[in-house]
Amino acid sequence: MMNDGDVARQLKQMTDFIRQEAVEKAAEIEAAAAEEFQIEKLQLVEAEKKRIRLEFERNEKKGDIKKKIEYSKQLNESRLEVLQAQDDLAKSMLEAAGKELLYISRDHHVYKNLLRIFIVQSLLRLKEPAVILRCRKEDRELVESVLESAKNEYADKANVYPPEIVVDRNVYLPSAPSHYEAHGPSCSGGVVLASRDGKIVCENTLDARLEVVFRKKLPEIRRSLLG
């Protein structure tokens, strides 16, 4: 039978064991909690890093798109500027050519022959037995001086009778451009022929012919300007 001393020793051993086990269990719990905290912390850090990376990539893409839009805008503006410069240069070339036309009518011998050719060409296009002819007032005498030869030349080429040509003495083509009326209607020379009813018109002026040639040559002019 145990005495009081033995009982006390047994109780102390039991309490020491329970205390040690509690300490060890607490240490395990604390270590597990610390490990779980570290895992959660790492997960949170990784999630935040991922969020920041995705945000950076989105911003980078936005920046790239913005840069591309800005580049495209600048490129379009540059193209428009180039096209505008081409148009301005082409217009200046047309204006310069228009000024050169004024010298043609000053050589009466050359211009007289040119008027005859224009009348014949217009008659061949119209193919009318009777036509109305309009010219500049200052060209009327030259035109009338070549009418017979023009009618006969047309009749030979078309194998028809010479047509009737009436020179309109009421309505004339405008005169050549001047410094006083630089922006008003003007005509550098040539003729306009129409059927008697006015439904068919052939404009064979120097200005109209220049416009036709210029439109045909414009793509070639643009290419040369780009080169």
Distance of CA 10 to the CA centre of its chain: 104
| Rg of the chain in Å (alpha carbons) | 50
| Same domain, residue pair 98 and 194 | no
Q: Please tell me whether residue 31 adopts helix, strand or coil conformation.
A: helix
**Residue that wins the pLDDT comparison between 153 and 69:** 153
| Same domain, residue pair 37 and 127 | no
For residue 1, pLDDT over 70 is answered with no
Residue percentage of the chain with pLDDT more than 90 = 38
Last residue of a domain, one of 47, 81, 106: 106
| Same domain, residue pair 222 and 122 | yes
What is the pLDDT at residue 17?
61
Which residues span the domain enclosing 197?
Answer: 107-226
Last residue of a domain, one of 57, 88, 106: 106
How far apart are alpha carbons 221 and 95 in whole angstroms? 14
| Same domain, residue pair 196 and 219 | yes
| Same domain, residue pair 137 and 99 | no
Q: What is the CATH number of the domain that holds 144?
A: 3.30.2320.30
How far apart are alpha carbons 135 and 145 in whole angstroms? 13
- Determine if the pTM surpasses 0.75: no
| Same domain, residue pair 47 and 124 | no
